[in-house]
Structure 1
C-alpha cells in the first residue's frame, strides 16, 4: 500500500499537482478507515478473475486487491507466489486446496460467460464456497492495476457485497 501512496505522490509532483495527490492519498485512507469500521469478521477471501472455464487469475501479494484487503483488516486466502502484477494463473483444481476461503469473483471486462451463473457451471459449482452459497461476484467497476480510485471502487463494492451476504463464521 505504501508503494501506491508513493507512486501517487510522485506522479502528483511530476505534473505539478502534489497537493491534489496528497489530498487523494488522505481521502482514500480516510474512506478506507470508514469502510473498515463497517466490515464484520470474515473468513479468508480468495480473489479470482476467470480466464476460461478451467483457469483463473488468483490475486495475492503485489496486487492492488491485497493492499485493499489489508487496509480493511481482511485476510487473503491466497498465499502462493504471484507474478509482478500480483496474481497466479491457476487451474480450478488448485482452488479446491483453499476450502475455507470465501470466493470473490471479479467480473472481467471480457466476461468468460460463467461469472453470473457460477453455481451451475462445470467444476466451479463444486468449489466449497460455491457449494456453501457464500461466494460473491463483483462488477468490473475498477481496474486491476489501478491505484487509489480503483482501490476505493473495489473496496466499496466488496464491503457492500459482504454486507448483503448472510453472515458466515470467520474461519481460522
Structure 2
C-alpha cells in the first residue's frame, strides 16, 4: 500500500505533527486515508507512474486529492468551509513535512488550492464528473518556471516539467 510506504518514510517529528492533528479530529483519520488511497488509485489508473513527477498528471493528483479530502470530510463536518479548512490543514502540513524544493512546494500548494476551489464550485457533482473536469483542467494547465509566475495562473493548474 503506497500510503503506508509514505507514512513509514516520515521522521518521528513529522509523524508527531500528523498525530497531533489527527488527535484533534480522530474521526477524520479514516476519511482522510480513504481520500488519499482513492486519489492514488485514480491517478495510477489514468497516468501510471507519471503523476509522481512535477508534470500535468501531478497537478491533477494534487487537485483531486483536495477535492476528495473535502468530500470525505464533508460527510463528518456537514459544513463545506470546515471541510475545506481540514483539507488545507492536511495538505499544507504534508507539504511542510515533505520538504520539497521551493518551486515544487509552491506548485503543489497552488494545485491544492485549485482543488479546494473546485470542490466548492462543484459540490454536487459525482466523482466521475469531477475527475473528467480536473483532467481537462490538467490538460490546459500552465507550465511555470519561476515563483512569480504562479500569480498569473490563479485559476489554473500549474506544472514544472513536460
Task: Give the TM bin, normalised by the shorter chain.
Answer: 0.3 to 0.5
Instruction: From the two aligned structures, give the one with the greater helix fraction.
Output: 2
Q: Taking structure 1 as the reference length, what is the TM-score of the superposition? A: 0.33
Which structure's CA Rg is the greater one? Answer: 1
Instruction: From the two aligned structures, give the one with the greater strand fraction.
Output: 1
